[in-house]
Structures are given as C-alpha cells and as structure tokens.
C-alpha cells in the first residue's frame, strides 16, 4: 500500500524512535492549554501515538480517549505508567471511530497533514463534528507552509555519514496537490533502507474552510501554545474551532 493511503505507516516506521530525547517539543505548554479547554472532559486525541500529550492530561484528572492507526505506537503507550488506563480505538483518525460526545478533540504536531488525501482531511473534520458535544472544541496545531522551504528541501540533504553507513534525505513536492514525499535513505553493509514519509500541507485559511464545511467555527488562533498573537509572520498556529 502506498504511503499516501496507509494510515498506520508512520507508526510502524517510527514507533521505536518517536520518544527519543530531542526529537519532539516539550508537551507541557500544549497540555496546559488543552487542559483548560477540556474542562471535565471527556477529551479525544486523534493519533494519540505513545501518549506524549494524553498521559499528562490524564494525570490532571481529565478523561482522555484516543484514536490511533498504529498498534505499535499504542503498545509503547501501554508500557508507560497510566498508559493502560486510556481507551484507544485502533483505526484511521479520519474516520474518528468512536461515539462521544466529547468536550474537546485535538490534533497536535502537524498530524492533520499526515492525512495525505484532501477528501480524508475533510472526512476528519466532518467526523470530529459528529462526536463533539454542543459547543465542543476541536484544536489543531500545524506549521504554516513557507514556499521558500520547498526549494531548500528539494536539495539532497546529508543526514549522517560514518565509516559504516551514510544517510541522505530527499523531497519531492507536488505544488498543485500541496503534497510532498520525503525519502530518507540509509546505505550500509547490510543493504539499503528506505524510510518514506508524506504530508498534505494546508494554509490556515484552507483549514478554516474545512472546519466551516463541517459546521465548525474558528474562535481562537495563536502562534503557539503560550497564546502569543498569530500574525502574518507566524510559522505555526494553534487554532480552536467550536461546534455550533
């Protein structure tokens, strides 16, 4: 199955390295922000992964549930303290295979863009709206695309060179479809290993349109989890959409 259509691909590829130090931002600001919105819950994390955000929320007494396409990722969460107590539906996050209702659903760290087909991004918003309680919030965190990055990324990047191996990274952009395919290739004595990854990126205004089509309205937008004002030079955004 193509990486463009396989919802579990990311988890199978990265489950063993996802939580390594230095790989992901500190979840504390996101947890603080989301805890305030969730109230008494329950809250739903799409692509819950290894529980990086969900577990600290649960420690605050918020009832958290999750959706995750990768059993490998969920196994990593289950091995952590409290990880066995969070209900998780194994499935495609675009289908939102749960019933709710939830006071809040959230998608962090650009994960919306892991849905690489436009119709599946639209499905995700529509299905989130289906399981939100009246007035419930859907929180999205993504980067703001910078076209200048496209040309920079299309150069061959040398990731690591040792006496025994070499790793390079390449990108292929489809500007019309707003997608990219990234291939990380490692050469060593045991052979060649390919690590493909794909995204469909959106500008904030396009995400607003998806939300509106699903019956959700934008109520807040910030440049980061600390609620810094969002502006034309912001490289990321935290957007809050509400039902009704």
pLDDT tens per residue, range 103-160: 999 999 999 999 999 999 999 999 999 999 999 999 999 999 998 887 777 778 888 9
Q: Is the pLDDT of residue 239 over 80?
A: yes
Total domains, the chain: 2
**Exposure pattern of 78-92 as b/e (b: 16+ CB <10 Å)?**
beeeebeebebbeeb
Q: How many residues does the chain have?
A: 244
Residues 117 and 187 in one domain: no
13-23: pLDDT as tens digits:
655 566 555 66
| Segment among 16-30, 82-96, 114-128, 204-218 with least mean pLDDT | 16-30
Residues 170 and 234 in one domain: no
Residues 108 and 187 in one domain: no
Q: Say which CATH number the domain at 171 has.
A: 2.20.25.570
Q: Mean pLDDT, the chain, as a whole number?
A: 91
Residues 17 and 98 in one domain: yes
Assign 24 a pLDDT band (cuts: 50, 70, 90).
confident
- pLDDT > 70: what percent of the chain? 91
Residues 56 and 158 in one domain: no
Prediction pTM value: 0.91
| Segment among 49-63, 151-165, 190-204, 214-228 with least mean pLDDT | 151-165
The predicted pLDDT at position 7 comes to 65
């Amino acid at each position: 199955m193509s990486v463009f259509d396989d919802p579990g691909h990311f988890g199978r590829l990265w489950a063993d390295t996802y939580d390594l130090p230095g790989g992901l931002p500190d979840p504390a600001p996101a947890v603080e922000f989301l805890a305030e919105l969730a109230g008494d819950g329950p809250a739903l994390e799409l692509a819950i992964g290894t529980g990086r955000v969900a577990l600290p929320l649960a420690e605050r007494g918020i009832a958290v549930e999750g959706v995750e396409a990768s059993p490998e990722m969920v196994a990593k969460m289950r091995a952590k303290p409290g990880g066995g107590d969070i209900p998780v539906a194994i499935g495609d996050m675009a289908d939102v295979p749960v019933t709710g209702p939830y006071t809040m659903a959230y998608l962090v760290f650009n994960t919306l863009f892991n849905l690489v087909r436009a119709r599946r991004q639209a499905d995700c918003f529509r299905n989130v709206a289906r399981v939100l309680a009246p007035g419930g919030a859907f929180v999205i965190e993504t980067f703001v695309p910078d076209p200048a990055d496209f040309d920079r990324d299309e150069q061959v990047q040398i990731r690591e060179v040792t006496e025994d191996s070499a790793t390079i990274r390449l990108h292929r952009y489809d500007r019309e479809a707003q997608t990219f395919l990234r291939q990380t290739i490692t050469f060593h004595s045991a052979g060649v290993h390919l690590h493909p990854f794909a995204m469909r990126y959106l500008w904030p205004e396009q995400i607003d349109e998806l939300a509106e089509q699903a019956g959700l309205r934008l109520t807040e937008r910030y440049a980061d989890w600390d609620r810094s004002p969002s502006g034309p030079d912001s490289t990321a955004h935290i957007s809050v959409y509400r039902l009704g």
